[in-house]
Amino acid sequence: MRKPLTARWAVFFRILFIAYFKERLSLIFSRRSIKIFKRMEMDKIDEKSNDGIEWENYCEKILRLKYSRKSFFTIPHEDRGDHGLEFFTRDGTIFQCYKPNGPCSMEEHKKKIQKKINDDLKKLDQYKNEIIQLLDGTVINEWVLLTPEIRTKDLIKYCNKKAKETIQKNIPYIDNKAFHVKIETDNSFPEEKIRANRIRESEINVEVQPIPKDEMESWKISNANFHQNLHNKCSKISTPPDQLIDEIIERYLVLEDLTDAYRDEFPDLYVEVSRIASDNLTVLKNDSLFSKVLPNDTVSLLLKKNRENLTRITQKISENNLEAFAIGFISKWLAECKMDFAIK
């Protein structure tokens, strides 16, 4: 028997209502998923914003001033992340740096800091096998988050809680009896803070000492292959080449002293200067694919390019140091490159 018309209409509207309700639910959850995804993306942007990178570089300056080169280690994050430790010291301290992006309320500030602490402490267990190899026997007794300000005492309580949770995981490289988690600002390092700010504002000049003649002669004996490279290339620039070779060796040894000093005291600058010199050489190599350049012109072009690009570095560097870098990296290429003078 066929259902009455009213009953059929009731069934129809019920089906229509269920379909509409399902569509609305799907839309709501879809929008919520998008919001969650956007929030996750904003967290990533927040953690690695320009301000965050600048803060990390500033913290590294402070910590390098606090600890000696032999006791302080930086973990590069470009290669599969830093595993929750940007820096560590031989006395057993892990340092992480974090600056929340933009102004935020007290509650937002607390949530962002807590999330950073929680996420990075989890990595200590998640990547423990790789971290053990990085630490190379160093036992960790302290994990410190460096941030511009501590706005609530709740964060101190949270650190104590997370320290206990981390200890319970029995991570092999952590000293369970001494381990604690702290949040600190640059005010914890007053002397180093002053010096780091002075470095950012003032001109950097490392005194370059003249290279003794006997040291240059010793270098020729100890680096016979490099000396031969210089002889082959300098012969195409100057005849006889002996005086030019001595000049190049002196610039080479000055560069070694200068880069050692910058690597220890101003590592971020050392990386930037080295990158510029390497990029300039790459450009010259590419240009040489399509044009022939005389040896003298090759060196002159590279020297000019080094001078121009090094002066564009934001941090002020003395003219003396800039010139030593500009000619020094050319001397390094002339000595160490096995190819003949032409860049191929």
Residue 158 · residue 114 · CB < 8 Å: yes
Strand partners, 183: 145
Residue 124 · residue 166 · CB < 8 Å: yes
Residues 6+ apart with CB under 8 A from 85: 75, 94, 95, 96, 120, 124, 131, 134
Mind giving me the DSSP string for 84-110? Answer: T-SEEETTSEEEEE---SS---HHHHH
Residues 19-57 have pLDDT tens digits of 555 555 554 444 444 343 334 433 443 444 446 778 888
Residues 6+ apart with CB under 8 A from 106: 151, 152
Distance CA 102, CA 242 (A): 60
Q: Which regions of the chain are under pLDDT 50?
A: 1-3, 5, 27-50, 343-344
337, exposed or middle or buried, with CB in 10 Å at 0-12, 13-18, 19+? middle
| DSSP letter, residue 140 | B
Question: What confidence score (pLDDT) does residue 30 get?
Answer: 45
Question: What confidence score (pLDDT) does residue 83 get?
Answer: 81
Question: What confidence score (pLDDT) does residue 98 get?
Answer: 94
Question: What confidence score (pLDDT) does residue 108 get?
Answer: 93
Residues 181-214 have pLDDT tens digits of 999 999 999 999 988 887 767 788 999 888 999 9
Question: What confidence score (pLDDT) does residue 107 get?
Answer: 93
Question: What confidence score (pLDDT) does residue 20 get?
Answer: 57
Structure tokens at 90: 């031989």
Domains of the chain: 50-201 (3.40.91), 213-336 (no CATH)
